[in-house]
Amino acid sequence: MRTNNLSRRTFLTFTAVLPWAWRAVAAAPIPIGLEMYSVRDELAKDPQGAVRAVAAMGYQGLEFYAPYLDWTPAQAKEMKAEMDSLGIRCFSTHNSESYFRSDTIQKAIDYNHVLGSRYMVMASSQPGPDLDRWKKVADELNVAAAQLESAGLRAGYHNHQLEFTPVNGVRPIEIIAKDTKPSIMLQLDVGTCLEAGSNPVAWIKANPGRIQSLHLKEWSPDSGKGYSVLFGEGVADWKALLNAAKETGGAEYFLIEQEGSRYPQLETAKKCLEAYRAAGF
């Protein structure tokens, strides 16, 4: 992995990040991280440099998405050493459905162990319109969860619009929630839930203890804006959402996510964190 001009020494000169424990004490702030898809171009060019930049902004953790599995084992170890030196944690990883099969999951388990991740999240699924096919996804998650739990990890599922779009009056996400074991995290993507016309606060309250993490993605119904608005510029009621996540959902960490904005990716990530902090979260 290449490095960039943001050296470890420079980082330590300008910021100090306190160690973070997985189980926070009562009333402790929920740690805030970044889904690294938000800075995907920077991550592709210089993985360690991107992580240094994210840590320097003040993010406490991150979530790597699928390309992390293209790294060599040595690169994964180098990344973990870099994160340790910066005091930043890999909360979870996003993975394609193909890595939840019994014949492919071991590689992902090994990489998540190296990176120090706790949750291995299925990033999406498109089984088709038949609700019975969504039940098969739930079955697949249950089988994978058993293997992950025996390895000291936990499974999760991440929604998009599709899961909150009703099929014969039933939202597929309801099948996923009902037919999966309670230990499987339902990682809530706020923006896609809103775009699909669902109420994310109601969803959190309907699934107590299962919303261990959220993607704090904004959404605006205004023409041409969509997901390009920064945190706090859309229609999400963040105060109600984050309170519900803390009080009912069982939230352990939050993740800023941006698909793009009017600013470069790193600047976007920085501005979103600043807005999050300014709002008092």
**pLDDT, tens digit, for every residue of 93-117?**
999 999 999 999 999 999 999 999 9
Contact 58, 85 (CB under 8 A): no
pLDDT category at 18 given cuts 50, 70, 90 is: very low
CA–CA distance, 268 with 35 (Å, rounded to integer): 12
**Could you tell me which of 128, 181, 132 has the C-alpha nearest to residue 156?**
181
**Could you tell me which of 70, 50, 72, 74 has the C-alpha nearest to residue 62?**
50
**Could you tell me which of 187, 236, 193 has the C-alpha nearest to residue 215?**
187
CA–CA distance, 52 with 50 (Å, rounded to integer): 5
Which two structure tokens, joined as six digits, stand for 233? 């510029």
Which two structure tokens, joined as six digits, stand for 190? 């706020």
Q: Which fold has domain 26-278?
A: TIM Barrel (3.20.20)
Count how many residues are written for the chain.
Answer: 281
Q: What is the mean pLDDT of the chain?
A: 92
Transcribe 14-83 into DSSP letters.
Answer: H-------SSPPTTPPPPEEEEGGGGHHHHHH-HHHHHHHHHHHT--EEEE-GGGGGS-HHHHHHHHHHH
Mean pLDDT, to the nearest integer, of 133-138?
97
pLDDT category at 11 given cuts 50, 70, 90 is: very low
